[in-house]
Structure 1
Amino acid sequence: MPYIKIEVTREGVTREQKAELIKGATDLMVRVLHKDPAATFVVIEEVDTDNWGWGGESITNIRARQR
């Protein structure tokens, strides 16, 4: 029973994009590991950019500086 967790920053990921991620991740497990898609779980967690850091800085600050 595979469990796949995808974490992305909360920056406008659409319902359609999430559906594509879920399908793609499931298809990959089926193709590579021959897993049953009915027993494959995919969770997408959206993290606020204030709560995601890189290089000692929040993504919110990095994005603001890049604009």
Structure 2
Amino acid sequence: MPMINVQMFEGRTIEQRRKLAKELTDATCRTLGCPADAVQVILTDVRKENWAEAGKLFSD
């Protein structure tokens, strides 16, 4: 069972989340030849003050 874990900054709408989950599921099924009910997608919101790149918080 494929599990896709997406971490992204908060602020996406429910419609954007639905579309992302559907597109990721469809692409996984096409690529791996598995049924849609075998694919799980976890969407995790991360606040900018909890994510850093090159030692600098995105909130800065």
Task: Name the TM-score class by shorter chain.
Answer: over 0.9
Percent of aligned pairs sharing the same letter: 32
Comparing both structures, which one devotes a greater share of its residues to helix?
A: 1
Q: Report SS of the residue matched to 1:60.
A: coil
Specify the structure having the higher radius of gyration (Cα): 1
Q: Using structure 1 for the length normalisation, give the TM-score.
A: 0.85
Distance in 2, matches of 1:4 and 1:52, equals 20
Q: How many residues align?
A: 60
Gaps of 5+ in 2: none
RMSD between aligned alpha carbons? 0.6
Q: Using structure 2 for the length normalisation, give the TM-score.
A: 0.95
Moved over 2 A (4+): none
